[in-house]
């Protein structure tokens, strides 16, 4: 049983996850952000690997990645930072990165580092299903790593059911067919999409992401799923107020 499955045994409603970019706003902020998020009471943390050519990220997260790269962040430093907080952190971490990062670093080396850091769940949004089935499923199983798949409003029912059969953590329900970033209120079209997915009665837990930014959008998303992920809104706040006021962002959402 992976860390996310254990989390769902303890709590399966209104889960809040926060995405942040390693090495932002400053190179050495990674461990501080994780520590402050844990203190603030988030349920799990999505650890973003800065990447120069992200496919799914909007301007806010792209800018944070660029700043982190300018700060000198790289995968070796990220893994060192995550190793340094492993013994003191009790909040499940999910690593989010891109396929080319794993390929360039070395697949086995990457997987071993992930496990060494105490992480057992990854999100690789550009990992093709056929590549997962033909190669990465076996690789991840070898290291005890669980892959999280994303679905969008355009994902076919057949593919959703296939993803459901492979899922061992949760299905990432992308709230809109666009890049990340706060979009304001959740639209009636999005609610219809959430209702359609909920009506499928999938075996997997559902976590909504993309466009979740405050208590209102978080609460709405949780009406149709087990929880939600906030990314861009948190990154914006982090850039403005720094790592010492993270609780001021989280508390109004979960209170």
What's residue 184's pLDDT?
63
3-state secondary structure the chain: CCHHHHHHHHCCCCEEEEEEECCCCCHHHHHHHHHHHHHHCCCEEEEECCCCCCCCCCHHHHHHHHHHHHHCCCHHHHHHHHHHHCCCCCCCEEEECCHHHHHHHCHHHHHHHHHHCCCCEEECCCCCHHHHHHHHHHHHHHHCCEEECEECCCCCHHHHHHHHHHCCCCEEEECCCCCCCCCCCCCHHHHHHHHHHHHCCCCCCEEEECCCCCHHHHHHHHCCCCEEEECHHHHHHHHHHCHHHHHHHHHHHHC
pLDDT of residue 54: 64
Out of 46, 53, 108, 126, the active site residue is 46
Tens of pLDDT, residues 121-158: 999 999 999 999 999 999 999 999 999 999 999 999 99
Domain boundaries, the chain: 14-148+213-248
* 36 annotated active-site: no
Catalytic site includes residue 108:
no
Catalytic residue among 36, 43, 57, 120: 57
User: For the domain 14-148+213-248, what is the CATH superfamily, name and number?
Assistant: Aldolase class I (3.20.20.70)
Total-model pTM: 0.94
């Amino acid at each position: 049983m992976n860390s996310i499955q254990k989390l769902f045994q303890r709590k399966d409603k209104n889960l809040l996850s926060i995405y942040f970019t390693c090495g932002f706003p400053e190179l050495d902020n990674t461990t501080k952000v994780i520590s402050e998020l844990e203190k603030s009471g988030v349920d799990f943390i999505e650890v973003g690997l800065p990447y120069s050519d992200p496919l799914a990220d909007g301007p806010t997260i792209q800018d944070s990645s660029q700043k982190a790269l300018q700060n000198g962040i790289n995968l070796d430093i990220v893994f060192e930072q995550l190793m340094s907080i492993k013994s003191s952190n009790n909040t499940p971490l999910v690593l989010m990165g891109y396929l080319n990062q794993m390929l360039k670093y070395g697949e086995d080396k990457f997987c071993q580092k992930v496990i060494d850091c105490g992480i057992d769940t990854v999100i690789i949004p550009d990992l093709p299903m056929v590549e997962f089935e033909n190669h990465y499923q076996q690789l991840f199983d070898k290291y005890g790593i669980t892959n999280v798949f994303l679905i969008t409003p355009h994902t076919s029912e057949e593919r959703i059911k296939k993803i459901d059969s492979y899922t061992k953590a949760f299905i990432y329900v992308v709230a809109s067919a666009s890049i990340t970033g706060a979009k304001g209120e959740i639209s009636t079209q999005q609610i219809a999409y959430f209702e359609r997915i909920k009506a499928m009665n999938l075996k997997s837990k559902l976590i909504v992401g993309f466009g979740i930014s405050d208590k209102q959008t978080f609460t709405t998303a949780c009406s149709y799923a087990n929880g939600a992920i906030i990314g861009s809104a948190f990154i914006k706040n982090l850039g403005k107020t720094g790592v010492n006021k993270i609780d001021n962002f989280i508390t109004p959402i979960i209170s």
